[in-house]
Structures are given as structure tokens and as C-alpha cells.
Structure 1
Amino acid sequence: MPKELLKKTATEAGELIHKGEVTSVELTQSLLEHAHSLNEQVNAYVSFRDDKALEEARKADEEIAAGNIRGPLHGVPMGIKDNLYMADEVTTMASKIHGDFVSKHDASAVTGLKNAGVVITGKLNMHEYAWGIDNNSPHFGPVHNPWNPDKVPGGSSGGSGAAVASDMSFSSLGTDTAGSIRIPSSACGLVGLKPTHGRVAKFGCFPLAWSLDHIGPMSKNVADAAAMLQAIAGFDHRDPTSVNVPVGNYSAALGESAEGLVIGVEEDYFFKDVDNEVERLVRAQIDELVSRGAKVKKVEIPALAYSEWTELATSLSEASAIHHNDLINRADDFGDDIRFLFELGELFSSVDYLQAQQARRQIKQEFAQALSDVDVIIAPTLPVMAPDIGSAVADLNGKDVDLIDSFIRFTGPSNLTGLPALTVPAGLNGGLPVGLQVIGRAFDEETVLKVGSIIESGDPMGGARAPIGA
């Protein structure tokens, strides 16, 4: 099978299958062979489901031949992050402690993909327990960025980002507690959507921080993200944070006209201490939207000054509560970086945590006020570029800055507020992708995706693709 087919988007691949130009079995077999051949170099997969995936593909072909097409992703092969449970199959969380864990149930999001007819090819590498942003795993090894294998792919969903960018998966699911969908999507040149908190049920996803966790798509383009969200969105009573609100028609919301859009820009936080070229590329896309009919309005969110402390106080406290017993009984089985963070989380007092929730409420209120005057807020996704694997710092205009603090600085606020946030490619900086972030109103993923599709239609990447897999 021509390798060019693997470069297709998920919805393009689905259309070819449904037209009979290729079978799901043929496409799945080709993708698996490609993924196996690259995995030593990229290290995106921790496990493959070759036989099960081909059986799912055969079933998809039979259903499609009978005229029973479940949707645009029916028969399309893809891997998923290894903290999403699949019934009677191992889910490791990229950890030693859960290295042999087997769930009795599929995650809600996995059920959504299966109901959409997706073929699941395997489980994708991640930062241990999803608490990290470089995906340098002590248990499964580092994931390599397909744009430059010496660079980190971002995390914690780094395997998902690297797999999609190198055509080892047509699309994927990631999870996001402080940016873990958007960070690797930005670093790997992808579209990544963190939906509104409660839009996608989290039953069957191993938690990092209960009140901050999200599940969402990581894709080659906005249309794929819309189709993926359509498949996984919806209420599930088994998740106490799931919200029973109508699911939109996300694919129908996409468009190319910016006429009448009002774009919010928050200068004091989102454009402070940013890589010069990243800022230039993001502002260029804002200018492009204006040239196509959008208006820009400055917004102010003063409480963002407290967002970094609030995010860490919340996430570390909740994560440490989840892992408390293992910290007591199996501390040496954690990776060093994860153990340090979980131990740090135990130092926060109840007063610290509750004060963080008060700050969080203020941040939410100010975002709601700002978004009452604009359609979306646009910002850089990351203020710095991906560093070399093993580095704890990133370069900010010639100065070393802490990597974790920098990578989550612009993404964390949308976890605190629960607002939908999308990253789309905005261009290249030194041969590496730069992401632009679109933040919207609660449960208004349609507008966020529409703005993303408008930006994408201008082809900011100029057709560039990651060298590995290209």
C-alpha cells in the first residue's frame, strides 16, 4: 500500500474506506507495519494490539460493506494513551506500580471510539501517571519528537503526539490536567483540543487530579478533532464530574470566514516572557484573522497572576492524595521526578488548598467576564520551544527557565477554569512547530473549533511535515 495513504487525516482515511478505495484491514495492516518499523526510533507505543486490531478492522469492513457506516471514523486505525482503560487488557499508566493492571471495563472515551467504529492499534507512551511534560520515562524510555528526535515531544501525552505526527496513528486521545493534550500537540505540530470540563466523561481514565483532568483529541487537523470529539462527548453517570448537556454538531461548525469574530487578547499574562519568534508567529495569525474580517479587543484578567501557584497547589495536592498509599508503601517504584512531585504535594496544607480554590474561583469569574465581550481569547500555547531530551530547562530568549513551569504557564489556566482550549499550528521556529491557543466559553467547543479551522485554512505551516514518518 502506498505510504502516502498514511499521511491522510483520519476523516480522509475514513472517506477512502467508506468509498471502497481501500479496506480497513489494508489500512490497519499498513499502519501497524509502519508503526512497528518506527517505534524503536520514536518510542510512541508501549504495546500493540495487532491481532485484535485486525479483527476489529475485519468487522468494520463487513459492516461498511453492508451499508452500516457508523460515522466518519469507522474503520480508521489509531492508538490511545495508556491511562485509558480497555477491558481485560493491560493499562500501565507508564508506571512500574501499575505495570500489570487490567481493568474490567472500557473507559467511557474508549467506548465512544468503539461505537464510532474506530480500530484501536495499541496503547501509547506517556509520562508516568501523566504527571510530567517531557515524556522521558524511566520505565518505558523517552519518546522522541518526530520533528527532531533529540527534542522532547511534550507531555504527558507525548506518545500520542509523536504517533500522530509520524503517521503511526491517524489520530489519538490524550489527557490534560495542566496542558498534557495541548503541550505535545503544540510541540509536535498537531491540533489538540481540551474540551470543557465535564464535556467528555472520565470514567475509566486513571486520575491525576480529579478537578483538573480532561480527555480530548490529538489530530492532524481541526476536522479530525471535531470528529473525534463527536465520538467521545456525552454524559456518563459513572463519572461524577460529567455534565449532562447537549452534544453539538462539531463538524458542521467549522468554517473559513472570520467576518464578525471578536478576538480577545490578554497582554499582561499571555504575551509576557515569551520566545520572540513564538510571539511574532502568534501575532501574525491574529493579524491574519483581522485581515479576514475579525476584530481584536484587549481583555484584562488580573487574577491570572495567581494561576501558576493555584494550578500547582491544586494538582499536586490532589495527585498526592491519589498516590498517598503507594508513596508510603512503594515509594522506590516511582520514577525519581514523579516521586519528588508527589512528595512535594503532601507539603500543602488544607489552608493552602482551600485558598487555591478561592483564587481559582476568581480566575473563573474574570475569564467569564472577559469572554462575555469576545468570542474567544487567543494566546501562544507554549512560551518556549521544546528542549533536548533530559533537559530540565528551556531557553527563553537566551535565558534558562524551568521547563515544567514554562510549559504549563499558558495551558494551566484553562484547566483551572475548565474552559475549552484548542491548540493549532502557527508556523515553524528553528525547524520546530509553534502552537497557537484558542480559549472559549464553557461548552462552546463549536466556536473554538471554528476559529481553529479558520486559522488552519491559511496554512501557517506551509505544508511542512515532521521529518520522521514523512
Structure 2
Amino acid sequence: MSSHNLHFKTLLEVGRMIHGGDMTAAAVTDRMLDRIAAVDPQFQSYVRVCADRARDQAQMADADMAKGIFKGPLHGVPIAVKDLCYTTYAPTGAGTIIHADFMPAYNATVVDRLEAAGAVILGKLTMTEGAYTSHHPQIPTPPNPWNPDYWVGSSSTGSGVATSAGLCFASLGSDTGGSIRFPCATCGLTGIKPTWGRVSRHGVFALAESLDHIGPMARSAADCAVMLQAIAGWDAQDPTTLDTPVPDYADALGKPVRGMRIGIDRSYCLDGVDPDVASALEQAVAVFEAQGARIVEVALPPHEELVATWIMMCAIETAVAHKDTYPRRAGEYGPDLAQLIDEGRVATGMDAARGHHLRLAFTGALSTMFNGVDCMLCPTMPMPTPSLVDMAQFGEEPDVLNAILRYTAPFDFSGSPTVTLPNGVDRAGMPLSMQIVGPRLGEATLIRAADAYQRATDWHTRAPPMS
């Protein structure tokens, strides 16, 4: 396999090159570190590059493979992690100034599991402050590799930019209201938000613990499948993890979707949605129909009132997460995160109970809906990737965040698994995106559907217009 444009190859392609002897892990890692040094000053997707350690890991991977020790598809492949994952070998700042020099005493479970699978960790990736909506004023926002005049999403911004720009072959992100899905949508990537509890949050800086999900971001559903395989499963250090067997997600790859029941609520998916987004989703429906899937009309349970509570419910939990430093060190916080915490601190028990009851009702009704379908389709956002100018204007409108959360927040509340994947380009040449949503622990079905779609289309193979 040719190493031309190595940086834009999929994780699995690079893994096959390494495992087949076409390139060593050390050579691939050196190529990526050289590219980071040359390109990332423009993107600032890494808050910290762990070059020496990455080289040591790559050399160890090569030595293991020379002895016939093979740890799986991630072995020797360079990836990166969002800077809310604890690491003993580099500070974990979580996008804040207040924790910029924090050196954890242990690694996040997800980091340990990736390293146990043989992955090479290139470094820690930039993110919004505390994993909320915006970057701390002292931390630059990474520009979108597809067009720097367009939004890059939040909060896994460095994960989206680094993976899209060919500065790692996959990354970890987190999602509380859409923070895996938004950067995947804006950067042309595929991402999995797993079932809540499928992946350990031990050693991961919290935004809102009952909403936080950790998952992979990569170029394809197949890449995400092997990443999820490495990090999923029960963890004694996280009592909220699910003590259920982890299936072989790779076994879902290459399987047909004939007979699969795919739900769509056309009112939810198409009403008030930009024509480019709607057209791309309808074309995706046609792709699945052509492969023999059954398209089933469904009705998503009432969700508008629930989405409207997301800010308040997130605020309450964020105030708890920051109780040791806020308001005592409020002057070191950026304005948006500080405002969120302030809202959480004044919310009442009745506010929290109301949001909790809405969440329980939606989650139960959604579970019933999934009795009739294997998965459902919906957009990731109601509009194409907005420009920075539009986002600045949107910021003055109180309902805009709720509009953007329309397709993401419901499934954080329910803890449902989703796969986000590109399904077109808009009139400005920016990626379009959709979600495949499934029932609790339905990741294998979602991977099967997403992989089938990606075998029939080429949207996920497109890279941003850069060398």
C-alpha cells in the first residue's frame, strides 16, 4: 500500500501497513510528528505533543511485533486524546487556565486501555473550557480545516481538527450535548457516542457526569469500531459502567443491511431544516433502501421541552463539578463557563426534579419506540456548518443553542448510542452529516448500518482541501 498522503489514510489502512511490514510504527510516528510540527502551528489542535514518549511507544510496538506479539488493529498506530483524559505523563488542563498545570496521579481508564491495545499516543488535544461551548479567552480556537471561516463545533475541537487535518489517525472526544457529533459534522468525520456507561469515565474531567459520554472520532465507522472495542467495558473504578459483555464490533463490519428496520420521523428530521441537510438525509434513506433495508415511519417521543432544559440540567451538574474552584477562583474562568456555573448555583431542587422527570419520560418512550425498529436516522444539525460570522450573530439569539441541540441533546439525556457520519457537502463545499441512533447497547447495529452506508458512498473518504 502506498504511503502517499499517509496522513489522510484511515486508521485501519495504516494499521495494515504497519502490521504487514510496509512501514514501521516508528516511521509512521515520525511522519506524523513531523507533520504536526509543520502544520499544527496553523491549527493549534494540540495543547501538548508528547513526541519523545510517542517515539518510545512506537519503538516498543515494533519490537513486540518483531517477536510475534500482536495486540490488535491499533498496535503501533498513532492517535491522540482530548485534554480532559487524565495522563500521568502530561498535564490535563480540560481547556481551562485554572487546571493548566494539573498532573494526575493516574491515567484515565480509556487511556490505559488504548495503550494496552498498543496505540501510540501523540499528545493531548485542545478543547473548549471545561468541555462547554467556547474556548477560554486565553486559549486559541482551532480553525476548521475545511474552511477557517466556518465553525469547528464544540467541545472536542482539537479532536475534530487534528483527525480531519491528518494530524492523528483517530482521537477520543467527549459528548455531553453534542461534542463528539458537532466536530465530526463540521470536519467530515465519523464518531461514536456510545451508550452511557458503555465506556468508563474514570479519570475524565467532568462537565455534567450523568450526560458525559466518551467515544472515538475517526475517518470511518470501521475505524471507530476498533477504537470502541479497545475502550468499552466494565471498569471497577467507575461504578456507572455497565457490567455486560462487549461484543466484537468488527464482526458487524461488511455485513448487509437487507431486512434491517431503519426508522425515520420525517417531521422531526425535515421540518424547519435547511434544504441541503434535508436533501442529504433523503438521499441517505435511498441508499439504505437500495441495499434492502426497510424504512419505517416512527414518531420520536416529545422532546422539545426536554431539550429546553439541557442548559439548566448541564449547569446544575457543572456547578457540582467545579465546586472546589468556583466561585473561589471565578476570575480565572472564561465568561461562558462562569455564566453556566452561576446558573447552576441558583437553580432549585424543583428545577432539577422537573428536568429529571422529563428525561425519564423521554427515555422510557424512546425505548418503546425502538421495539419497532433497529435504529433511526436523523440529521446531526438542522443547518449546514455555520460560518463564524453567523455564529457570532446567533450568539445574540437565546433560542439558537436549543435549535442546535435539537438532534443531539435528546440522546445525551437518554444515554442512547449514536454514530455520526458525513452524508454530503453543502452549497459552500462544507461537509454535511447525519446520525444513526440506536437502542441501549445497540452499537454493533449502528456500526453495521454506518459501515454499509460508507461502503456504498464515498463522503467519508474526502479530506479537507489541504496537502
Scaled to the shorter chain, the TM-score interval is: over 0.9
Residue of structure 2 in register with 1:451 after alignment = 449
Quick one: which of 406, 409, 413 aligns to 2:410? 413
Contact 1:126/1:137, CA 8 A, preserved across alignment: no
Instruction: State the Cα distance separating 1:299 from its structure 2 match.
Output: 1.3
In structure 2, do the counterparts of structure 1 residues 33 and 75 end up closer, same or farther at CA, with 3 Å as the change threshold?
same
Matched, 1:90 2:91: yes
Q: Which moved more, 1:179-188 or 1:341-350?
A: 341-350
Contact 1:175/1:216, CA 8 A, preserved across alignment: yes
Residue of structure 1 in register with 2:300 after alignment = 301
Determine the C-alpha separation between the residues in 1 that align with 2:371 and 2:234: 26
Contact 1:275/1:383, CA 8 A, preserved across alignment: yes
In structure 2, do the counterparts of structure 1 residues 29 and 330 end up closer, same or farther at CA, with 3 Å as the change threshold?
same
Contact 1:46/1:140, CA 8 A, preserved across alignment: no
Instruction: State the Cα distance separating 1:401 from its structure 2 match.
Output: 8.1
SS at match of 2:385: coil
Within 5 Å, give how 1:424-439 maps onto structure 2: 424-429=421-426, 430-439=428-437
Determine the C-alpha separation between the residues in 1 that align with 2:48 and 2:339: 27
User: What per-residue deviation string (whole Å, max 9, x for no partner) do you get for residues 306-329 of structure 1?
Assistant: 221232232111111211342221
Determine the C-alpha separation between the residues in 2 that align with 1:158 and 1:326: 24
Determine the C-alpha separation between the residues in 2 that align with 1:298 and 1:324: 45
User: What per-residue deviation string (whole Å, max 9, x for no partner) do you get for residues 167-202 of structure 1?
Assistant: 000000001111111110111000010000110011
Residue of structure 1 in register with 2:51 after alignment = 50
Instruction: State the Cα distance separating 1:129 from its structure 2 match.
Output: 0.5
Matched, 1:143 2:116: no
Instruction: State the Cα distance separating 1:339 from its structure 2 match.
Output: 1.1
In structure 2, do the counterparts of structure 1 residues 323 and 391 end up closer, same or farther at CA, with 3 Å as the change threshold?
farther
Determine the C-alpha separation between the residues in 1 that align with 2:224 and 2:145: 20
Structure 1, unmatched stretches of 5+, are: none
What amino acid sits opposite 1:284 in the alignment? Q
SS at match of 2:40: helix
SS at match of 1:218: strand
What amino acid sits opposite 1:20 in the alignment? G
Structure 2, unmatched stretches of 5+, are: none
Contact 1:42/1:149, CA 8 A, preserved across alignment: no
Within 5 Å, give how 1:44-83 maps onto structure 2: 44-83=45-84
Within 5 Å, give how 1:347-362 maps onto structure 2: 347-362=346-361
Number of residues of Structure 1 aligned to a counterpart in Structure 2: 464
Contact 1:394/1:401, CA 8 A, preserved across alignment: no
Instruction: State the Cα distance separating 1:393 from its structure 2 match.
Output: 5.1
SS at match of 2:254: coil
Residue of structure 1 in register with 2:371 after alignment = 372
Residue of structure 1 in register with 2:117 after alignment = 116
- Percent identity between matched residues is 34
Contact 1:161/1:218, CA 8 A, preserved across alignment: yes
Using the size of structure 2 for normalisation, the TM-score is 0.96
In structure 2, do the counterparts of structure 1 residues 393 and 279 end up closer, same or farther at CA, with 3 Å as the change threshold?
farther
User: What per-residue deviation string (whole Å, max 9, x for no partner) do you get for residues 285-318 of structure 1?
Assistant: 0122112211111112332122212322321111
Determine the C-alpha separation between the residues in 2 that align with 1:281 and 1:121: 35
User: What per-residue deviation string (whole Å, max 9, x for no partner) do you get for residues 194-221 of structure 1?
Assistant: 0001100110000111101110000011
SS at match of 1:407: helix
Instruction: State the Cα distance separating 1:402 from its structure 2 match.
Output: 5.2
What amino acid sits opposite 1:439 in the alignment? V
**RMSD of the TM alignment (CA)?**
1.8
Instruction: State the Cα distance separating 1:282 from its structure 2 match.
Output: 0.9
Instruction: State the Cα distance separating 1:391 from its structure 2 match.
Output: 5.2
Matched, 1:461 2:462: no
What amino acid sits opposite 1:451 in the alignment? A
Q: Which moved more, 1:114-123 or 1:272-281?
A: 272-281
Residue of structure 2 in register with 1:14 after alignment = 15
Determine the C-alpha separation between the residues in 1 that align with 2:233 and 2:119: 17
User: What per-residue deviation string (whole Å, max 9, x for no partner) do you get for residues 341-380 of structure 1?
Assistant: 2212223211111111111011001111111000101000
Contact 2:18/2:76, CA 8 A, preserved across alignment: yes
Contact 1:307/1:413, CA 8 A, preserved across alignment: yes
Residue of structure 2 in register with 1:162 after alignment = 161
Residue of structure 2 in register with 1:127 after alignment = 128
SS at match of 2:68: coil
Determine the C-alpha separation between the residues in 1 that align with 2:389 and 2:157: 14
Contact 1:80/1:123, CA 8 A, preserved across alignment: yes
What amino acid sits opposite 1:282 in the alignment? L
Instruction: State the Cα distance separating 1:119 from its structure 2 match.
Output: 0.4
In structure 2, do the counterparts of structure 1 residues 294 and 401 end up closer, same or farther at CA, with 3 Å as the change threshold?
farther
What amino acid sits opposite 2:23 in the alignment? V
Q: Which moved more, 1:378-387 or 1:309-318?
A: 309-318
